[in-house]
Structure 1
């Protein structure tokens, strides 16, 4: 190649100066392209290697993204060796990134470099905090994921004999993991790194629910009830026997052991305080949690005051709704009226689900007004499974299978109908499904050539900020025409505003659980049972709850910037496309990207 370049230059010298200049520019351009290709290809290889290795450390995640080779494995227990291995894993990829000349990167490769560089450094900081001593709580934990997988209602496939055998293998490794978390929770007791008692007590029924007298009464028997007819008689007999032995001789004793540990050791030694600041180095841990969930360096005081301001602003709008419906009484009486009057609630769980299915049809027809991009995957509306309904959120979203074999799921908790008012139907549908979580998460999975660590990764502030921003689009979509439906939108936004106050109150200002409950009762029409579940959720997930509003604020700020700079040329569909087409990004990188896009539109 270099020999041919020399010949070209010689020919140029024999011709004219103009031709020589053109040849020189061509050589420069070719060299630049080669360097770009080389750097971009190197980044792609690092990104792939990083993702594959990270999944090998978290094989359960592999099942959810369709890596079937991991279907028979479970995550290893957290030990000194595995924690050190994780640190070395992070440092290894930092070293690999440092060998790339960032200036030679372009497009998605440059974005991936910035994202991975930021994530590696942040994860390394996180290893300073002993999260392994509090590995589960009533909201999250591999114990609930395992139960969902084993029930056959989640990502674990049960189509072939090998599928069934894979879960038996996974179960063996799960029991080892369960023993491991007991060891780490005991270590937490010794180091005063324990859950608040109000949360540890909620864990007990989650384990006791699986202590059954016979295998047929277990949710882990459900796949056996649905054995494919194509299985041979001997295969059926073998699977039935193997699952019975697994449930009765291994699973039930393991859950019994865990329940006894909670009851006799952990709950009595749990703390009476609720904020993470009560744990050694808790203030620094909370600051880290805030940054983890918001991707921004924000102080608890700043967030708390912002929340107080927002709560008051939304209360004023709620007063407007009260006047529109001609309610006689003050706002607190209006809250009680909405909370206690049967007319605002569904008579049955079937009616509740049907209302959300109807909202799905209406909203799906309207999203093209503001979007020129939407996921190929559909979503379905389902009730939350009974075994986790008591502790689960009022609603949630589960992403579709990457290969399209399973739709997204919009879960509605039918456990307490008084926590599911009719006026929340439109706003909750927008948030959890379309164009909220379903659009953002399903689209991210469908983006062609997006590195897998970004395709299946994410940031709470982006996903929840997007979903809350999506709610604000309701009127533009022709929804919220009923004042009470608009009130429902305010209820949802008020919930997120109160979270700014309550989360920081609990974890930075030493609020009690009762103070947090009282604040939310006084500033919303939420059912008390729902308020309690929310407050206990914030106690379990420090910093997570503040991300919704922070993300919404940033997206609205970027929309205002784009509108101001572009004027009449501002295209809302194009803006939404830019927010979604590169997947979730940390807020600093999102802002940089959107502002660059705006500049290029001028």
Structure 2
């Protein structure tokens, strides 16, 4: 039975009220330590919400004492980032003073997790450029690029997450809309600082960025979709709609124009060099980005070699299936390329094809939800919907991404699909994508964090979350998704091989000085993925160094722990109990996950 946070605090308070008997002295000390640590973690959570108010809205907790956050956006200026870093330094000093030996195992995990997240972020803030994700995955050296920036994030957030159900909601939306201009100008100031430090994105990324921000800017401000949608909301008055139009024309459009001008200055100085090795401190930056993304200390050479070794193993299995299906000539990559061009496995590249993809993804997620009792003892609802990405975001976005919704369930988790062309997706790859992004992947796993202390819902570690999502693909296969579908199993194995390729390509770009074209050609020919798909992928690795390496390394680590658990427990091993242990422990660094599974093994041995 799972103990809620409220029950835990009540029980620990009751323990501390008991007489100080020698036999329970140690338990009382642990309870007192847990209470003190919980208070500090709660205060840290509130600080993180203040630093990034969007999280409070996305989680559905911008109410009561946090209602003021509903009118705020993240400060993206140099001064704003400096305040965040200073606040984190103070919190880390307080957390560092906690004696872990005085804590219960669960609270020790919480404290270790938060300490790691903050220290990793502080190490990132030591570089005077880029974005640092505090307990998140989107670390980037570029303040604005094809998949980073307020010009993308804020319109999507205001359209999708900031619900307008009351007059007060409309008022707070307007406050955020006005703050959007300040976000843009703050980023533009950081772009200027980066330019002086010779931190300039590659020319091919800047070309994409300028194309996308032009879509956001548009020609006629009065025709912005965001304004039109806002004015049509039932709780928006005519005066509020007029105020939004005035803010757009008087503040936001000029801020976008200033950012566009600065990006054009960057473009004039840009080169085609794809990797961060070109920065004055590029090697050090990549070492940090790789550590942040993988929660390991693996070197680029070790990651590169691991990718090639795992790819070889996966393609051996793919080769056997391909041969049985009559595909016998050429490399595995060449045969998968041919498979990907087979009309039998393609969707029409039109709106009818897009609707078919969205419907299939929705149906596949629903089917897998019904199988979850076979994989877990402890279940969540799996509140998720499938949506198409906004058009302005599609050119620079990956094929899909997803995550959990709000804690109160009013905002569902989402699987966002890039449908700029349906050829990004094949009929034999979509089921695996549904498991990865939806259930039992990101959306499913994220709901478990809602049962943990709030701070744990705010923090995530790329290697765990993406490793879990790949493990979710594996669970789909283990639950029978491809038992009578060998081509679908090829899609699943290609997905894993895709992530092994990422280890090679990411390190190739940032440590081995691969060109973009070299990376695209190697990726497409080796894995049999389309050039269209991997071109967007390679561009993503250029702007998010290291992030792509978390997937396969995290997946491999979870499986290593599963084999270790099976060997240690023998007949006491329980498939569902192991999955529970991984997901109920929450999103943690891989080193902390080791401790979680060690406790699971010890508990099952009793």
Q: TM-score of the superposition, structure 2-length normalised?
A: 0.89
Contact 1:208–1:256 at 8 Å: present in 2 too? no
Partner of residue 541 from structure 1, selected from 522, 544, 549: 544
**Counterpart check, 1:135 vs 2:143:** yes
Contact 2:147–2:393 at 8 Å: present in 1 too? no
Shift of 1:361: 2.9
Q: Tell me how far apart the structure 1 counterparts of residues 259 and 493 of structure 2 sit (CA, whole Å).
A: 42
Contact 1:366–1:478 at 8 Å: present in 2 too? no
1:70 alignment counterpart: 69
| CA 1:119–1:176: 2 relative to 1, 3 Å | same
The 5-angstrom pairing of residues 261-340 of structure 1 reads 261-263=262-264, 265-327=265-327, 329-331=329-331, 332-340=333-341
How many residue pairs get aligned? The number is: 566
What is the DSSP-based 3-state SS (H/G/I as helix, E as strand, rest coil) of the residue aligned with 1:474? helix
**Counterpart check, 1:386 vs 2:380:** no
Partner of residue 555 from structure 2, selected from 552, 560, 563: 552
1:366 alignment counterpart: 371
1:53 alignment counterpart: 47
2:104 alignment counterpart: 106
What is the DSSP-based 3-state SS (H/G/I as helix, E as strand, rest coil) of the residue aligned with 2:428? helix
Q: Tell me how far apart the structure 2 counterparts of residues 119 and 361 of structure 1 sit (CA, whole Å).
A: 34
Q: Return 5+ residue gaps in structure 1 as ranges.
A: 1-24
Q: Tell me how far apart the structure 2 counterparts of residues 508 and 413 of structure 1 sit (CA, whole Å).
A: 29
Contact 1:399–1:438 at 8 Å: present in 2 too? yes
1:91 alignment counterpart: 89
| CA 1:328–1:558: 2 relative to 1, 3 Å | closer
Shift of 1:176: 1.7
Q: Tell me how far apart the structure 2 counterparts of residues 53 and 140 of structure 1 sit (CA, whole Å).
A: 23
1:404 alignment counterpart: 409
1:202 alignment counterpart: 208
Partner of residue 184 from structure 2, selected from 167, 178, 182: 178
Partner of residue 430 from structure 2, selected from 410, 421, 425: 425
Contact 1:367–1:477 at 8 Å: present in 2 too? no
The 5-angstrom pairing of residues 337-356 of structure 1 reads 337-347=338-348, 348-356=353-361
Q: Tell me how far apart the structure 2 counterparts of residues 45 and 26 of structure 1 sit (CA, whole Å).
A: 23
Q: Return 5+ residue gaps in structure 2 as ranges.
A: 1-18, 131-140
Deviations 1:258-294 (A, max 9, x none): 223322x121122331111111111111111111011
Shift of 1:484: 0.6
The 5-angstrom pairing of residues 109-258 of structure 1 reads 109-132=107-130, 134-150=142-158, 152=159, 154-228=160-234, 231=235, 236-258=237-259
Relative CO higher for 1 or 2, CA cutoff 8 Å, sep ≥ 6?
Answer: 2
Contact 1:75–1:174 at 8 Å: present in 2 too? no
Q: Tell me how far apart the structure 1 counterparts of residues 151 and 186 of structure 2 sit (CA, whole Å).
A: 12
**Counterpart check, 1:454 vs 2:456:** yes
Deviations 1:302-338 (A, max 9, x none): 1101111122222222222221211353235423322
1:260 alignment counterpart: 261
RMSD: 1.9
Q: Tell me how far apart the structure 1 counterparts of residues 88 and 397 of structure 2 sit (CA, whole Å).
A: 33
Q: Tell me how far apart the structure 1 counterparts of residues 568 and 371 of structure 2 sit (CA, whole Å).
A: 28
1:21 alignment counterpart: none
Shift of 1:114: 1.5
Q: Single out whichever of 188-197 and 358-367 deviates more from structure 2.
A: 358-367
Contact 1:374–1:439 at 8 Å: present in 2 too? no
Q: Tell me how far apart the structure 2 counterparts of residues 72 and 246 of structure 1 sit (CA, whole Å).
A: 15
Shift of 1:213: 4.4
Q: Tell me how far apart the structure 1 counterparts of residues 366 and 117 of structure 2 sit (CA, whole Å).
A: 38
Q: TM-score of the superposition, structure 1-length normalised?
A: 0.90
Deviations 1:532-571 (A, max 9, x none): 0001111111110010011011100000001011111110
Contact 1:315–1:523 at 8 Å: present in 2 too? no
Q: Which has the larger radius of gyration?
A: 1
Contact 1:214–1:248 at 8 Å: present in 2 too? no
Contact 1:460–1:548 at 8 Å: present in 2 too? yes
The 5-angstrom pairing of residues 433-444 of structure 1 reads 433-444=438-449
2:585 alignment counterpart: 582
What is the DSSP-based 3-state SS (H/G/I as helix, E as strand, rest coil) of the residue aligned with 1:210? helix
Q: Tell me how far apart the structure 2 counterparts of residues 135 and 213 of structure 1 sit (CA, whole Å).
A: 24
